[in-house]
Amino acid sequence: MKPIKVGLLGLGTVGGGTLTVLRRNRQEITRRAGREIQVAMAAVRDLNKAEKHNGDGLKLTTDPFDVVNNPDIDIVVELIGGLSPAKELVLKAIENGKHVVTANKHLLAKHGNEIFAAAQAKGVMVAFEAAVAGGIPIIKAIREGLTANRIEWVAGIINGTTNFILSEMREKGLGFDTVLAEAQRLGYAEADPTFDVEGIDAAHKLTILSAIAFGIPVQFDRAYTEGITRLTGEDVKYAEQLGYRIKLLGITRRRANGIELRVHPTLIPEKRLIANVSGAMNAVLVMGDAVGPTLYYGAGAGAEPTASAVVADLVDVTRLATADPHHRVPHLAFQPDALQPDLPILPMEEVETAYYLRMRVADQTGVLADITRILADSNISIDALMQREPEEGEPSTDLILLTHETLEKNMNAAIARIEGLGTVQGKVTRIRLETLGK
């Protein structure tokens, strides 16, 4: 059987890793796919830099449209990232009847609905395992391995940069700015780290996971996103003293009135496995009604971990390329006509969770009573309380409260009243808390 011909858009970190894995494991991959997968063409920015990848008849070009318009190419692998020209290239490849493999979470979070609809109409596949959590096969796990389950919720550490920063803050007692500079020096963080530290990258990935878990269209514009830039070493320390770790979590949960879709720093009990995921690693916890909680852990980025997911998609597409398009695994797990576009994404004020609150208060009688009265007025009950002993002559101290679950709008109202007290200095620090139990 003749080889499947692949065209790569990009020969950078992931593209180079994909080519390396395909060449090194050629025999094993061919045995699994049923035919050889051969990279026939690649689009690159710099032909001189790409010369090191030459061999096996690989043709190089600086025009990516040469690849998507090449009639000999069966599968286009998009690894250039961003929205443009990636969107135009992917849609052109689909229009030309080519299958697409992509690692571009930004593209799918923003334009996935359009891309999947175009692929469905043309009878081709769009595979995107590498778009979420690098080498962890989380897309396949939810879309296929857990297909018997009604998914209740998904919670994930899906950005390695922020997990590295939070791990270093906890383990070394350093501040955010210091650790961010170290992450940039080590190559974990970009020169402009906004997408990572503000939670945008995690929200792109969570949007895709939510669509697959619940059979809804991708809706990135409705995701609540909050990053880690305002976290302090004090909060990391206090959380530890209370038996919790702080992680940037992406959480999507099925509720009776809609779907939660949110990314934010979160306190997690230290006994949970996911709370102990350190460094730049990723982990995703999925709760199914039949299987219960399942945890997926591994490298969320890097040349060969991500290439592992890209090549797995290439094998899947190769196996199914000749299958009836109507009987392939659907892009978003559910058959296209069975998606629920009317299932609402809940606004953040309608989300129900527990909270960590830290406030600077005057060291005087009656302060705690005033604060607990305000919380009670909003139907918020306290789960735990910690007050730092003030130093000799110090007029104020830190008060830390953990609450039971309540609606975000109730907490917003309570915090506004607490900040209005003359005995409370400055703003109340609020971090959401999830036990990640059933």
> Which positions are annotated as active-site residues?
205
Of 295, 214, 201, 296, whose CA–CA distance to 248 is shortest?
Answer: 201
DSSP 94-137: HHTT-EEEE--HHHHHHHHHHHHHHHHHHT--EE-GGGSSTTS-
**Helices 160-172 and 176-186: crossing angle, nearest 10°?**
130
End-to-end CA distance of the chain: 49
Are 301 and 188 a contacting pair, CB within 8 Å?
no
Closest listed residue to residue 169, CA positions, set 102, 239, 110: 239
The helix/strand/coil state of 359 is strand
- Of 117, 304, 340, 63, which Cα lies nearest the Cα of 210? 340
Residues 6+ positions from 336 with CB-CB distance below 8 Å: 116, 117, 120, 330
Residue 44 three-state SS: coil
Q: Tell me if 80 sits within 8 A of 102, measured CB to CB.
A: no
Number of residues that this document lists for the chain: 438
Q: Is 266 helix (H, G, I), strand (E, B) or coil?
A: strand
Distance CA 206, CA 190 (A): 21
Starting at the edge strand found earlier in the chain, the sheet holding 99-102 runs 59-61, 37-43, 4-9, 75-78, 99-102, 126-127
